[in-house]
Structure 1
Amino acid sequence: MTHFDIVPVDPGDQRQVRSRLAVMAAVDAHDHTGTRPLNPARELSRILVGRADVRDERWVAVCDDRVLGFLDVNLPLLDNTHAAYFDLGVHPDERRRGVGSALLRHLEERAAEEGRTACSTWVLEPGDGATGISAVGGAFAVAKGYKRSLSCAIRAVDLDTVDEEALDRLWDEAAAKAEGFEFVPFEGLAPERIIDGMAYLHGRMYTDMPLGEWDLQEAAIDRERLRDWSDMRRLRGELHLQVAAVHQESGEVAGFTEIVIEGGEETHCSQGDTIVDPRFRGHRLGTLLKIANQRLVRAWRPRMRYVWTGNAVSNDHMIAINEAVGYRYVCEEAVFQKQR
């Protein structure tokens, strides 16, 4: 057992901030080889700029001013207030000394103090042939009483190798079934005419996506939440590219997709939500949205190369769309949850 203290992250303590980043980079290099690399600018911006609807807590285990491990906690304030979400890591050289167990115990104590009855974390796993991914995280969670609640797969598309002629053919095939819909590309906050429809569909993401046994409950998203999220991304230096499908006759938002390019990132970006309103399914809108936004990335960032996404393994429809536009399997990811 190593002697250490668990203390809040102090943004003004440069030694602590850099030591924390070094631990995160070491964990990433040791446990997640072959996946999207750590972006230090993202981690630094998250310390300073958060969302109004979530309270973030950042803790570190320290010994003689040296960070051994980290714990990030997210406590929703407007919905899913029964839940605490967290990310935890320990430097590979400091494992099996009680650091991870102490950080997890601290998380569970904080959750109990806040009246949270469910603790959840996302953990990368090897899956089929992903030899650079460690299985330690999932095994640790299970040993501590956490249950695998949702199984997902991570995929990435290499924009340098996408067959654009094949995408053109796919677009034409899908567009033949999407007559009567307009595709609206935008960055940042949604245009006024569609902002309420965008908020409605963001709310549906909490209930429409496959959840397995993960206890994620519905959320009421409105235009003010979208404004706050947009302000947060702007302050973090993130580029938020989106395409919405609008039903021309009714003016309703039929679906949307989004990709986030983080500040300081020139190679990797992340697919966010993609959803089509059940009332408008069957028109190949998901395929068209994906192609349009994938191309929007290259229009804004010509050198951007990889887009990363994750899907529940049971979501056959979205997986088929992703693979059709160039995504390829990388590894597994799972939600581990403990309830009390």
Structure 2
Amino acid sequence: MTAFTIDQLVIPATIDAPDAAGFIEMTHVRNEIEADTVGNRDLCYEPAELLPNWQDSYQPQTCLVARVDGRIVARAIYQAPIEEDSKDAWLAIEVLPAFRRRGIGSALYERLVAMCAADDRTVQQGYFIHKGADGSEQLPSPTGFGSVPLDNPETRFLLERGFALEQVERMSRLALPVDETEFARLFDSALAAAGEDYRLVRWTGRTPEQWVSDIALLHQRMSTDAPAAGLEVNEENWDDDRVRTIDDRQEESPRTMLLTVAEHVPSGRLAGFTELSVPAELERPVEQQDTLVLKEHRGHRLGMLLKLANLQYLAETHPGHPSVTTFNAEENRRMLDVNEAIGFVAVGYGGGWKKDTGVS
């Protein structure tokens, strides 16, 4: 039996702080684990890029790390939503391949269970990336869309602890640059479908003052309008202060966020938005983050128009990156249809898992 210790990781104020060494090491361990799972380094983050995510007071997280001979070999994440009456906690456990099957993941999970009990969190859930296993028996999603390998270690780990698969997410990649002729055809068609009632606005950096409240609404609706299947999702509370807090966090990151929004001209309000997170190094992929069109504005091909316009913005301002990666729920056919038409291809899958300990 391997001897190991578990303790809570210190989150430093800055990446240059004297106590930042553990966070930096944890980030490198995270990257090695996820690279092993997906087969490449598309999901890797630099410590300075990841740190702002751990300083978000609206989504507080606790990180536990397991050490063997002083070296971090695994981590676990506990995130309890701050919304009133929420009963869920979002969990993650990752162990370096060479240190699996030694009781480390189980011990980390027991610590997370204790944290849930202390906070009276009766719903444990999380998204877990599943390593590809071609030809293996599959566990289908209850949504009817997608599946994950049944015999993979992470699947067995979750099933043995009473978790149920609720949703499958697809990881997709778009190779850059895109075909200019096909891009122009898709863009012109989407622009014509949107008509004169919508116009595109784009920016980098802090949210323009006139759009702060609208961006807050879009983020709040993102928490309820995106498909969640059987997972427990709280409606997040967004206001101008929260948007400005996000702006502050992004200014601290080496990454650049590109936003394109669709303004509904008759009302002067935003109808949708999309985000691209761009690393400084050209050899690294760009990350497609949130995309949302408000339900009352759907049917005008705004999702397609927004994504294409932001890719155009990327090509103009940050050319040379190899690809764009994104995650979408498998049942979100509207957005997957858009992605596939643009040229995204599936490269991996994750599962949304839930365990309700409050069920009698």
Question: Bigger CA drift: 26-35 or 86-95?
Answer: 26-35
Q: 2:188 aligns with which of 172, 177, 184?
A: 172
5 Å matches for 1:1-340?
1-10=1-10, 11=12, 12=18, 16-17=22-23, 19-34=25-40, 36-41=42-47, 45-46=51-52, 50-78=55-83, 81-126=86-131, 129=134, 135-160=152-177, 162-179=178-195, 180-262=197-279, 266-340=283-357
Distance of 1:286 and 1:130 partners within structure 2: 34
- Where structure 2 has 5 or more consecutive residues not aligned to the other structure, the ranges are 13-17, 137-148
- C-alpha separation in 1, matches of 2:169 and 2:244: 29
User: Matches of 1:191 and 1:72 in 2, distance apart?
Assistant: 33
Shift of 1:289: 0.2
Q: Which moved more, 1:113-122 or 1:174-183?
A: 113-122
Relative to 1, partners in 2 of residues 1:130 and 1:78: Cα closer, same or farther, differing over 3 Å? farther
- Structure 1: 5+ residue runs without aligned partners? none
Q: Tell me which moved more, 2-11 or 195-204.
A: 2-11
Residues 196, 221 of structure 1: alpha-carbon distance in 2 compared, 3 angstrom cutoff = same
Deviation at 1:138, TM superposition (A): 2.5
Structure 1 CA distance, aligned partners of 2:27 and 2:237? 35
Partners of 1:120 and 1:327 lie apart in 2 by 28
In 1, the alpha carbon distance for the partners of 2:284 and 2:135 equals: 21
Contact kept? 2:24, 2:47, Cα under 8 Å: no
Does the C-alpha gap of structure 1 residues 13 and 333 become closer, same or farther in structure 2, counting only changes over 3 Å? same
Distance 2:81 2:187 in 1: 39
Between the aligned partners of 2:85 and 2:155, the Cα distance in structure 1 is 24
Partners of 1:330 and 1:271 lie apart in 2 by: 15
SS in 2 for 1:138: helix
Aligned partners of 2:191, 2:9: CA distance in 1, in Å? 50
Q: Read off the aligned partner of 1:9 and give its amino acid letter.
A: L
The question of whether the paired residues in 2 share the 8 Å contact of 1:73 and 1:85 is answered with: yes
% identical aligned pairs: 29
2: CA distance, partners of 1:288 / 1:155: 19
Q: Give the letter aligned to residue 261 of structure 1.
A: V
TM-aligned CA deviation for residue 240 of structure 1:
1.3
In structure 2, relative to structure 1, the CA distance for the partners of 1:323 and 1:79 (3 Å cut) is farther
1:151 maps to a residue whose letter is V
> Contact conserved, 2:263 with 2:272, CA < 8 A, in 1?
yes
C-alpha distance 141-80 of structure 1, shift in aligned 2 (>3 A): farther
Does the residue aligned with 1:70 lie in a helix, a strand or coil? strand
2:141 is matched with: none
Deviates more, 1:106-115 or 1:6-15: 6-15
> What per-residue deviation string (whole Å, max 9, x for no partner) do you get for residues 20-60 of structure 1?
3453343234322146242233565258x511212221111
Could you tell me the TM-score, scaled by structure 1's length? 0.90
Counterpart CA distance in 2 for 1:226 and 1:50 is 14
1:168 CA displacement: 0.6
What is the one-letter code of the residue matched to 1:89?
A: E
Q: Give 1:269 shift.
A: 1.9
Q: Distance in 1 between matches of 2:49 and 2:188?
A: 40
Alpha carbons of 1:228 and 1:306: their partners in 2 closer, same or farther (altered >3 Å)?
Answer: same
Asked if structure 2 preserves the Cα contact closer than 8 Å seen for 1:79 and 1:218, the reply is no
Aligned Cα root-mean-square deviation (Å): 2.5
Could you say if the C-alpha distance between residues 236 and 147 of structure 1 is closer, same or farther in structure 2, counting changes exceeding 3 Å? same
SS in 2 for 1:171: helix
Say if 2:123 and 2:355, in contact at 8 Å, map to a contact too: yes
Q: Is the 8 Å Cα contact of residues 256 and 289 (structure 1) preserved in structure 2?
A: yes
